[in-house]
């Protein structure tokens, strides 16, 4: 059995909002795809609060919910494990978003409408409500990508992206090991350098009201240095990675 669509959602210490967010996205699946096989994969990344317990309590109420528990490995690790689960379930399309209730489900349709035009489509937080440290990281990474790879991506690490399942499988096979700090950046760079239009579609971003911010100010410099180093090292491997991705992808499914 295959799925038309899997939504991948990492979660860490989101006990105050996790059920609300699960309901929002499973309601979207039910409303927009009433006759199709779809699911929401929530990867609980070793939460220290009640997030994991809440997910286990509510999964019977939300038949489309698939819960994956793992030891804490960081946001990027949780995202990649969610992607791997979606590929394992033979998903035609994979959409990734976060569990912090900073995005709205209505914007999903903007990316879905472009699904036949590219196997890799990104949203773009035109007006972003995040801590100053995160805004700095985004700007540094944007400049780093332009400097190292000669390509410009508005929001390369955005957790609001739609990827064709067959293409995601190829991307994951080319992802460096161990998993980099921000794997979504590497996936975006590979897709862009392989010649695909990522679109960078403006979407709504809301202020975070609950949960735990995983990158605090004191970690800012360390994160920037680590990410820049990983991106620079990957530059040496990019040619062979892109060649593997350039095998023709169908324009439409």
CA–CA separation, 30 and 37 (whole Å): 10
The reply to whether 252 falls in a domain is no
For residues 21 and 14, the answer to whether their CB atoms sit within 8 Å is yes
Task: Check the CA dihedral 111-112-113-114 and report its sign.
Answer: positive
pLDDT of residue 142: 76
CA–CA separation, 205 and 168 (whole Å): 25
Q: Which residue has the higher pLDDT, 218 or 125?
A: 125
> Could you tell me the two tokens for 24?
């929002």
Q: Is 104 helix (H, G, I), strand (E, B) or coil?
A: coil
Domain count, the chain: 1
Q: What is the CATH number of the domain that holds 142?
A: 3.90.550.10
Q: Is 123 helix (H, G, I), strand (E, B) or coil?
A: strand
The reply to whether 250 falls in a domain is no
CA–CA separation, 78 and 152 (whole Å): 26
38-47, 63-72, 208-217, range with the lowest pLDDT: 208-217
Q: What is the pLDDT of residues 62-90, one digit of tens each?
A: 999 999 999 999 999 999 999 999 999 99
The reply to whether 185 falls in a domain is yes
Average pLDDT for 235-252: 79
The reply to whether 127 falls in a domain is yes
Give the domain range for residue 123.
Answer: 3-245
The reply to whether 37 falls in a domain is yes
- Helix ranges (H only) for the chain are 18-32, 51-58, 75-88, 108-112, 132-149, 165-174, 183-193, 220-235, 238-245
Which residues have C-beta within 8 Å of that of residue 172, sequence separation ≥ 6? 80, 83, 84, 87
Average pLDDT for 162-188: 95
Distance of CA 121 to the CA centre of its chain: 11
Q: What is the pLDDT of residues 99-154, one digit of tens each?
A: 999 999 999 999 999 999 999 999 998 877 666 666 667 777 778 888 888 888 98
Q: Which residues of 88-125 are buried (b: 16+ CB within 10 A; e: fewer)?
A: ebebbbbbbbbbbbbbebebbebbbeebeebbbbbbbb
The reply to whether 253 falls in a domain is no
Q: Which residue has the higher pLDDT, 226 or 94?
A: 94
CA–CA separation, 8 and 96 (whole Å): 5
């Amino acid at each position: 059995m295959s799925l038309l669509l899997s939504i991948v959602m990492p979660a860490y210490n989101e006990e105050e909002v996790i059920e609300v967010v699960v309901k929002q996205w499973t309601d979207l699946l039910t409303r927009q795809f009433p006759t199709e096989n779809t699911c929401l994969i929530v990867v609980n990344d070793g939460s220290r609060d009640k997030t994991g317990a809440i997910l286990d309590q509510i999964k019977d109420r939300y038949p489309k919910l698939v819960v994956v528990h793992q030891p804490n490995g960081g946001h990027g690790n949780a995202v990649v494990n969610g992607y791997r689960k979606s590929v394992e379930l033979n998903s035609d399309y994979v959409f990734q978003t976060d569990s912090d209730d900073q995005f709205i489900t209505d914007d999903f349709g903007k990316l879905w409408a472009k699904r036949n035009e590219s196997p890799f489509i990104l949203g773009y937080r035109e007006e972003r409500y995040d801590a100053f440290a995160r805004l700095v990281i985004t700007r540094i990474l944007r400049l780093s990508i332009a400097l190292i790879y000669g390509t410009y991506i508005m929001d390369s690490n955005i957790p609001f992206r739609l990827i064709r399942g067959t293409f995601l499988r190829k991307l994951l096979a080319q992802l460096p090991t161990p998993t980099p700090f921000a794997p979504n950046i590497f996936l975006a760079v590979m897709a862009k350098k392989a010649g695909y239009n990522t679109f960078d579609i403006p979407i709504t971003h809301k202020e975070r009201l609950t949960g735990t911010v995983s990158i605090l100010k004191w970690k800012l410099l360390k994160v920037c240095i680590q990410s820049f180093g990983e991106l620079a090292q990957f530059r040496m491997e990019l040619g062979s990675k892109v060649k593997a991705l350039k095998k023709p992808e169908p324009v439409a499914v």
